[in-house]
Amino acid sequence: MQLAVAYRGRSGVLKQRGSLVLSLEPNLRRDRVSFVGKLRHPLLFREAISALHDIVISDLRFQPKDRTAYQEYLKQEKKREETLRQAARELKRDEMLKEFPEPRRLQIQEDYRRLHKRYWDARQRYSDYLREHDPILFRLVMPMDPVITVAPDVLFFECFSADESSYGCLSVQRDAFEAEQDVSLGTTNVDYSWELYEHFQELRTYRETRFVIDPRGFAVETAGADNYHEEKIDLPPNWLRGFMQLQAGMSLPLRHVSLNREAVYNLLSYLKRHRARKSPRAVRFELDPGQAVTMVLEPFEQRIVAHDQIYQGSKKEVIRTWGRERLQVLARLLPLLEGADVYLLGTGLPSFWVMRMGEMRLTLGLSGWTKNDWTGPSALDQLMPPTDPSPDLLGDIAATFRSNPCLSFHEIRSRTGAAPAYVAAGLNRLALLGQVIHDMPAGVYRWRQILPVALSLDQLGPENPETVAARELVRKKQVAITRDELTPTGLRALAGNVPERPTEILVDRDNKITRGKCNCSFFYQSGLRRGPCRHMQALRNVALTGGGQPSLDQWFAQLAQS
């Protein structure tokens, strides 16, 4: 999908009469959004926005092994060969010098210097152009500029990481500003560059800092001006669908766990000093109603207890989450941290860590695995609504936000008159389409259009075809389980015919297929490298749901009880 952006100038930090002005340039291709105010706590904002930057650039995908020693060996071999070649060249040069006169040699050297200068001058001009207009590589790291929303009570910035596995949202209460003026509510992209991050580090407590989403570009004709620039961004399908899948996951019912600063510090400190050499590498939450929240770091079995934080849930359970290495981006917030809230979907599913820092909150969303798992055939698909909400219901829910862009679930339900299950399915779909975001700490839903136009499911890119086909097999009741038992290692062994294809799988405690066997062409060609085939997924889905497609009410009741 192509996204067009246009900016009047470049975002940056300007020095004016002993104060700083943090000026962000909004996207002129969207509706007018502006805000001007003085920051009460510049240092707090500096650390929070810097942590958000670390989320954007984080990329923990597999990196090739260190081959430094081997490369050094190749250099030594090359040097030895070069010595031999140099001796041969000198011998040949002496022979050729006898044949070449001195004037001809001087002319060749002069031509070489002239062409050499021409080449490096052109290269320097190209380098200056890239420095002025952002490196091309920047778009590979951050496909879309950060999104900022000006709401009646908060400002919040959103971003997605380079490896498509981490989501960041910095929420700043409007109380964090004073002397507000020129406020226009809405959502827009803001111009962002590598240099802007360096400018953030200049914020200090002893200097007045004004925060500006510059509205001037909307009031004048800027096309053709020297500081006006446009760009067409080609959003990768996986990136876009992953970002929207994350929003949909946030709209589902979540377990809430509170942590104190000491527990967060102990978690990050232990992970910083110890590196696991074997699997599993999960953070295991042991939740017992009325008892202190406990985290266990696997495989060390290191227990971290938040003694003054009592779990308020209704049932005892154990939830294992992954992505703990990505938590290190929160380390710089520890001196400012008041406490943290963790929101859990379930074992092996995304988790959301909310850092509370007075008037600011930073939300870090983590997928189950470092490689983008929002769009893959994972257990997250089992939590989506079993039926599509009607267009009328989506229109009614969208209409409720016109009078107030911030509403609770019960307010939306009372205004639409729809049953809770239908409201939940409608909010989930609007979140998937980038229209609504769930503010978990505040317990409200906010109307926020992530792109200038409303998206459709087709624009999000095709869903995994094997996953779609697996759901169809389950719907037609073409799956017959012949074996379902636990192995001595704790894995669940399943076997069955899907349909008339003998299929076997091993499912771990996170409902992830670790091994399997099927005689279909998809498995024959790629095994599990591209994910499990439709027959394996259908077999697992029937084992998890008991067969049959649950109704919307059953889906909502199951989520509410979990």
pLDDT tens, residue by residue, 9-64: 778 778 877 788 888 888 877 888 888 888 888 888 888 888 888 887 776 666 67
- Which has the higher per-residue pLDDT, 249 or 286? 286
Provide the pLDDT for residue 373.
43
Minimum mean pLDDT among 120-134, 155-169, 346-360, 514-528: which range? 120-134
Minimum mean pLDDT among 89-93, 298-302, 418-422: which range? 89-93
| 545 exposure class (CB count in 10 Å sphere: 0-12, 13-18, 19+) | middle
CA distance 451 to 2: 11
Provide the pLDDT for residue 541.
82
**Residue 34 is encoded by which pair of tokens?**
């502006």
Provide the pLDDT for residue 219.
43
Check: CB of residue 155 under 8 Å from CB of residue 35: yes
CA distance 406 to 31: 19
Provide the pLDDT for residue 407.
92
Provide the pLDDT for residue 132.
58
Query: Residue 6 to residues 14, 145, 225, 360, 442: CA-CA distances in angstroms?
Result: 21, 11, 12, 29, 33
Calculate mean pLDDT across residues 233-256.
76
Q: What band does 375 get if pLDDT is binned at 50, 70 and 90?
A: very low
Provide the pLDDT for residue 14.
80
What are the tens digits of pLDDT across the range 386-398? 778 888 999 999 9
Number of Cα atoms under 13 Å in the Cβ half of residue 371: 8
Q: What band does 8 get if pLDDT is binned at 50, 70 and 90?
A: confident
For residue 344, the tally of other CB atoms under 10 A from its CB is 20
Topology of domain 246-383, CATH: DNA Polymerase III; Chain A, domain 2 (3.10.150)
Provide the pLDDT for residue 432.
87
What are the tens digits of pLDDT across the range 192-206? 766 777 777 888 888
Beta bridge partners of 114: none
Instruction: State the average pLDDT for the chain.
Output: 81
Q: Is 295 helix (H, G, I), strand (E, B) or coil?
A: strand
CA distance 343 to 462: 29
For residue 504, the tally of other CB atoms under 10 A from its CB is 16
Give the chain's end-to-end CA distance (angstroms, integer): 36
Q: State the pairing for strand pair 209-213/19-24.
A: parallel
Length reported for the chain: 562
Contacts for 108 with CB less than 8 Å, ≥ 6 apart: none
Provide the pLDDT for residue 253.
81
Number of Cα atoms under 13 Å in the Cβ half of residue 327: 25
Residue 500 — φ and ψ, nearest 5°? 65, 15
Provide the pLDDT for residue 42.
86
Just give the CATH number of 391-447: 1.10.10.10
Task: Sketch the domain layout of the chain as residue ranges.
Answer: 246-383, 391-447, 465-561
Calculate mean pLDDT across residues 213-241.
57
Q: Kindly list the strands in the beta sheet with 283-287, ordered across the sheet, starting from the edge strand earlier in the chain.
A: 302-310, 292-297, 283-287, 317-321
What are the tens digits of pLDDT across the range 462-515? 667 888 888 888 888 889 899 999 988 888 999 999 887 899 999 877 667 888
Provide the pLDDT for residue 130.
54
Report DSSP letters for 427-493, one per residue: HHHHHHTTSEEEETTTTEEEE--SSSS---TTTT-PPPHHHHHHHHHHHTT--EEEEEEE-TTSPEE
Max mean pLDDT among 83-92, 235-244, 275-284, 409-418 falls in 409-418
Beta bridge partners of 343: 256, 352
What are the tens digits of pLDDT across the range 112-123? 888 878 877 776
Minimum mean pLDDT among 176-185, 292-301, 361-370: which range? 361-370
Task: Using alpha carbons, select from 160, 208, 162, 159 the residue that is nearest to residue 59.
Answer: 162
What are the tens digits of pLDDT across the range 128-150? 565 555 555 455 555 567 888 89
Task: Using alpha carbons, select from 11, 19, 37 the residue that is nearest to residue 155.
Answer: 37
